[in-house]
Amino acid sequence: MAFQELAKTAHPLNVIVATDCGSTTTKAILIEKVGDEYRQTYRGEAPTTVEAPFEDVTRGVLNAIAEIEELSGRKILDGDKILTPNRAAQGDPKTGVDIYISTSSAGGGLQMMVTGVVQNMTGESAQRAALGAGAIVIDVLASNDGRLPHEKIERIRTMRPDMILMSGGTDGGAVTHVVEMAEYISAAEPRPRFGATYKLPLIYAGNKDAQPQVKKILGEKAALVLTDNIRPVLERENLAPARNKIHDLFLEHVMQQAPGYKKLIEMAGAPIMPTPAAVGVIMETIAKREHLNLIGVDIGGATTDVFSVFEGLFNRTVSANLGMSYSISNVLAEAGLANIMRWVPFTIDEQTLRNRIKNKMIRPTTIPQTLDELQIEHAIAREALRLALIHHKSLATALKGIQQERTISDVFEQQQSGKTLIDMLKLDLIVGSGGILSHAPRRVQSMLMMVDAYEPLGVTRLSVDSIFMMPHLGVLSTINEKAATDVFVRDCMVYLGTCVAPIGQGKDGDRCADYVITFQDGRVDKGTLSFGDLRLVPLAADQKASIAIQPAKQVNLGAGAGVAVTREVQGGVVGLLLDGRGRPLQLPTDHASRVAALMKWYQAVDLYPVLSAEK
């Protein structure tokens, strides 16, 4: 992979400064070697400056690093330059850093348009290739997407992607459709988002027999790169070559054009990574190291990135219109007012709420100052997380359109190809990252936001990125795995606890399950979980407990309805959450009952301070 180049340094890495240039804020962290291990020591943050009036991403980077300077007392900047290497050898250990590294999703990240022949076959494969490379897919064009030719051309003309990925056809198959798409692209004369004079990077990863025609049609009009077919045969995807080309072109072309990125690339000692790609590296590493099925989420200002690893298969999606600042209006539009307000234990008139949301959109660094504002933000976050997971489920699927062998036993259960790979019952760990989750005033708020949004089934562990540093560690891992692992284990990952959620529904107060929790010190906690109950059992991060659950007759904990389950559960800073609210989670429909239910749940887990005082 392009990112796994050696860093531009020969000296040992003892002091590292890393930034993540998000769409709203630029976050800098300082990592220092303390004894034999690396630790994250200081953090700085400043508004991102990729847009007008600054239009230079490095201003925000320097501001964030300047904050680290102020907090740590270390001299890192010399004017607009980062002092490298660290001057410890010259007897001045408090001056300079050994390397500066960065990730970026600012300015809309890497925006791609992809094309295929059949929308849910090569179109989806192309989409997965682009998403896997950390891109935002702004549109998928396909021969059968229902749009007329002139509509396709008009769409290509109006969207200004950073890059186009063309796919279509299996090797040796018909070339007509993919050539037709090349003709549309050629006719549209697409222009890149940045820079008026450079050619738009275009990767062709379709039927190899069509390469000469595509070259003839598009060779002059775009910076054409030919690579292996992403779907050489219907039964197999080959995404790696296209993803690598995307990374290469991102660094060679796109980053050179974005405001200030040329300078940023010169400042950095290692290639700049798109933020979703860097977080993906970390998520994949966690899943592989601990042999887990995992869902990870990074909820940002403009986008929400979802990652999953199920049975070793990694998938990543970037929901471009779901976020907590720039995209907050779209969360309202997509989720609907009712869905957002169902999580808020008070009433607010629609106009006030809409005005608040728009104010957040135009002033993306807005931070809630009152409890009701915080509750509204958390409500919006729940919906953004929920919608992003739905999007992820639709794309993290098995290949569609492939031949399936059926036996007589499949007569009564014939499944279509392309089933989602996300199985919430097999899910072991949910990892949350992003400002709203990492900076929630109480960790239990992060936990409940994820539980409400994802509705984990059975027994699921949850964790959160302590102060939002996964992107930084993702890029660090490509140059120094030990440093990334040390910081990840000691400073980044905060285990919140485990959620136990039986599947099934019942009347409030009816028995959902009986449980017996046996703690490591021999203590035993027996109880009955009723429907509508939310219970928090303290269990510290370094503790484990055994929980034996006997669900009610119609209730399932993964082993079948009414079948008892015994599991070992791990603690966390929040503890063990017993969720008897039923799955699928259904909130009362009438206002008074819904508010009462929310108040009961929020008080049960001590979610907000005012509610605690009332209690």
Partner 1 sequence: MAHSYTPGLTVTEHTTIRRRRMLSLPGSVLVATGETVRANQAVARAELPGKVYPLNLANQLGVAPDEIHEYLIKKAGDPVQKGEILAENKPLIKWLKTEVLSPITGIVESISPVTGQVLLREPPRVLELLGYVDGRIVEVMPQQGVVVETDCSLVQGIFGIGGETRGEIVIAVTSPDEALTPRHLTADMKGKVVVGGSFVSSDALARAKEVGVAGLIIGGIHDKDLRALLGYDLGVAITGRRVRLHPNGRKNIHASFRSCGAAGFYFRRHANSCRCHSARNHHSQRRRRTGRSPRGNRAAAGRHPDRRPGSHHSRPVIWKDRRSRKSAARAPEDSDRE
Within 454-513, which residues bind partner 1 (CB under 8 A)? 467
Residue type, 13: L
Of the listed pieces 120-128, 328-336, 550-558, 565-573, which binds partner 1 according to CB under 8 A? 328-336
How many amino acids of this chain bind partner 1 (CB under 8 A)? 81
If the CB atoms of residues 148 and 592 are measured against partner 1, the closer one turns out to be: 148
Least distance to partner 1, CB of residue 262, Å: 15
> Which 8-state DSSP code applies to residue 157?
H
- Burial string for 559-596 (b: 16+ CB within 10 Å, else e) reads eeeeeebeeebbbbbbbbbbbbbbbeeeeeeeeeebee
If the CB atoms of residues 386 and 583 are measured against partner 1, the closer one turns out to be: 386
3-class SS of residue 373: helix
Contact with partner 1 (CB under 8 A) among 5, 37, 70, 78: 70
Contact with partner 1 (CB under 8 A) among 23, 86, 122, 463: 23
Of the listed pieces 235-243, 327-335, 474-482, 505-513, which binds partner 1 according to CB under 8 A? 327-335
Of the listed pieces 7-15, 148-156, 487-495, 579-587, which binds partner 1 according to CB under 8 A? 148-156
Contact with partner 1 (CB under 8 A) among 221, 262, 426, 439: 439
Tokens of 500: 């136990």
* Stretch 358-377 residues interacting with partner 1 (CB under 8 A): 358-370, 373
If the CB atoms of residues 197 and 416 are measured against partner 1, the closer one turns out to be: 197
Tokens of 599: 């108040």
In 466-582, beta strands by DSSP E: 493-501, 511-519, 524-530, 534-537, 544-551, 565-570, 575-579
Nearest to 569 by CA among 458, 456, 490, 444: 458
In 69-135, beta strands by DSSP E: 77-78, 81-82, 99-104, 111-116
Contact with partner 1 (CB under 8 A) among 153, 239, 279, 534: 153
- End-to-end CA gap in the chain: 55
Least distance to partner 1, CB of residue 92, Å: 24
* Stretch 113-142 residues interacting with partner 1 (CB under 8 A): 136-139
Decide: 58 and 141 in contact? Cβ < 8 Å. no
Report the distance separating Cα 143 and Cα 126, nearest Å: 14
Least distance to partner 1, CB of residue 46, Å: 5
Contact with partner 1 (CB under 8 A) among 72, 102, 104, 303: 303
Decide: 107 and 23 in contact? Cβ < 8 Å. yes
* Stretch 164-223 residues interacting with partner 1 (CB under 8 A): 175-176, 179-180, 183-184, 186-189, 191, 193, 196-197, 213
- Per-residue contact string for residues 45-64; x = within reach of partner 1 by CB under 8 A: xxx-xxxxxxxx--xx-xxx
321 binds partner 1 (CB under 8 A): yes
Decide: 355 and 363 in contact? Cβ < 8 Å. no
Helices 176-188 and 149-158, packing angle to 10 deg: 50
Least distance to partner 1, CB of residue 156, Å: 10
Nearest to 168 by CA among 226, 241, 117, 214: 117
Least distance to partner 1, CB of residue 36, Å: 26
356 binds partner 1 (CB under 8 A): yes
Say how many C-beta atoms besides its own lie within 10 A of residue 20's C-beta: 31
Tokens of 492: 């980044």
If the CB atoms of residues 56 and 514 are measured against partner 1, the closer one turns out to be: 56
